[in-house]
Chains A and B, each alone.
Chain A
Amino acid sequence: MKTTTYKVAEQLDKATLVDFYRQMALLRVFEERAAEQYMLGKIRGFLHLYIGQEAVAVGAIHALGRDDYVTTHYRDHGHALARGLSVNAVMAELFGKATGCSKGMGGSMHLFDASLNFAGGYAIVAGHLPLSTGMGFAFNYLNDNRLVATFFGDGALNEGEAHEVLNMSALWNLPVVFICENNLYGMGIPLSQSMSNTQLHKMAESYGIASAQVDGMDVLAVREAAETAVQHVRSGNGPYFLEARTYRFRGHSMADPVLYRSKDEEAEYRKLDPIAQYGEWLLSSKMATQKKLDAISAEVEKQVEESIAFAEESPFPSPEDLYRNVYAQLP
């Protein structure tokens, strides 16, 4: 971590600060175990791991209110867990079981929880940006001071509809926090080979949107930057664009042999592991002892282990479920 003092560290209590570590550790263990389950054939299809990016979801989502909406892309397990979805329900969804958060109907890329206002992972790159802008539109229309935080990758900024809604969110002053998780690669293409302007937050400025860039490996920096974003939006100043520079330690998905970047580069970024650096900060600021951190690690391991057992034991959806929820009924 930088030796900056974090304003937010003074505003939040110790329990909350230590809990950021727990949340990130949970996300990390969950993804690692999900990868194992994938190799065992328990999870199939696509699996996009959030390993390395934990600080962004944990730091940003903590700045939101309960009534705010969260939407995200297909690399969504981290956001779902940071938002508070049950570990059991997420693992069961990955296993395609009826006890999954989307009843086994969505899978890895389509995690939903209406009670937590978690409006989904999304499988079409940039597709959820207009949806999120629409939710912001609804909140303005209803005049209720809610906002929507939408997470997306660097690659999404090449889709036309991302630009369509950057324009409209600014034009109509909509309460949207755009959080770009710039992990420097769109699948296998490095940023410099797909973007004419690699300072992504500057793109937002061209639409008249307030923006900032933050170190996405530093959970307190993210938390602080998200606070600024949320205050801006909630004060009726329109959208905000936060570019979080981060890195995924694994491939784009489980199918990715990662031939497009060097092991040296990966090693350099692993030195910036958000969980390791935050652990060091907690120790050096005397917020936690090594014993405490070890206990947390053991606790989240156990939680994820139990979720795997839960998922294993849960039933598959029944054959009748095939035709359920194609249409909504009039109340």
Chain B
Amino acid sequence: MVQLTVREALRDAMAEEMRADPDVFLMGEEVAEYQGAYKVSQGLLDEFGAGRVIDTPITEAGFAGIGVGAAMGGLKPIVEFMTFNFAMQAMDHLINSAAKTLYMSGGLVPVPVVFRGPNGAAARVAAQHSQCYASWFAHVPGWRVVAPYSAGDAKGLLKAAIRDPNPVVFLENELLYGQSFEVPADGEHLVPIGKAAVARTGSDVTVAAFSIMAEVIDLRSLRPLDGEAVLASVEKTNRLVTVEEGWPFAGIGAEIAALVMENAFDMLDAPVGRVSGADVPMPYAANLEAAALPGAADIANAVRRVCYRG
């Protein structure tokens, strides 16, 4: 085991996969000369050269489409969005080109591309730089959507994503980039897409979350969502709280609540509690931003509510 920051773990995942497979390359704004807007790609230009670590102009729709086309042409692109807020410029290619092409072509044309970058709130960057896109991307069939928390999961899932023949949306979090965790030193550390991790066992309540410190179940993948892990836990605890940073309406928590209601209705001793970000564009003022995001107190309150303890 070694201590790595999430940023280093992501970089190592990309470097290892690029060493192993010459068809893997990285493309995005400031990934090369600037060493990455958030320094995730630091050192990659030096090791792999400008042919494989490519700075693009500010042209998201164009380079997202180019990434998909390069995958259709036989390569394994990693397309970095400086943040997923900017990926909205590229939405048509993400969904209409990447996610749907295999199906529309009757299985003829796979699209093995990874779209990665920071998602969700950062700090004081206001409404247009703070949205969580987990629910939007998880809504679409045809690709994988992954949201790791720890550095070990970031590394293992990014390697798995790069090797996956399907398009993968890889949701990182800027506030986590500098956090350190123990990571297996083994270069073949892979985390399977679609499997949650039970971070802490308990008996009274299940808390299911992603991209934040989940006390009980760290979902890690949103599509496919490890419903079995959640149901197995609810069978044991009979109570569930979902936690997400994004907006509540039609969010990930809404999906999990429906899943549990459909499959484990008789197991529930209380309605599912959902903890989410406030249903507003992200404000700038420090106190309001803090109020707009879920914190430990919100989760604790929700847990108490579903346990009928005030």
Contacts and interface: CB of A to CB of B under 8 A. Distances in A.
A167 B65 contact: no
Given A135-B72, A327-B102, A127 B109 contact: no
Interface stretch (B55-63, B174-182, B211-219, B278-286): B55-63
Contacts of A190: none
Interface residues of A, number: 46
Contact of B73 (A120, A139, A327): A139
Interface string B166-185: 10000000000000000000
A267 interface: no
Contact of B65 (A110, A123, A161, A326): A161
B104 A132 contact: no
B65 A325 contact: no
Given A102-B108, A165-B65, A330 B164 contact: yes
Interface in B34-73: 51, 56-57, 59, 61-73
Given A120-B109, A134-B73, A161 B61 contact: yes
B310 interface: no
B141 interface: yes
Interface string A20-40: 000000000000000000000
A300 B167 CA distance: 41
B51 A141 contact: yes
A139 B66 CA distance: 12
Contacts of A113: 108
Contact of B62 (A69, A106, A133, A139): A133
A102 B106 contact: yes
- Looking at chain B, what size class is its interface with the partner chain? 35 or more
Interface stretch (B89-97, B120-128, B232-240): B89-97
Nearest to A162: B62
B287 interface: no
Interface in B101-160: 101-110, 112, 141-142
Interface in A292-327: 324-327
A105 B142 CA distance: 14
A114 interface: yes
B81 interface: no
Interface string A151-172: 0000000001100110110010
Interface in A90-131: 100-106, 110, 112-114, 119-120, 123-124, 127, 129-131
A235 interface: no
A284 interface: no
A112 B109 contact: yes
A129 B61 CA distance: 10
Contacts of A105: 103-106
6 contacts: A114-B105, A120-B101, A134-B69, A161-B65, A165-B65, A326-B142
Given A105-B104, A142-B75, 16 more contacts: A102-B105, A120-B105, A130-B61, A131-B72, A131-B97, A134-B67, A134-B72, A138-B73, A141-B25, A161-B61, A164-B59, A167-B62, A171-B57, A325-B107, A326-B103, A327-B166
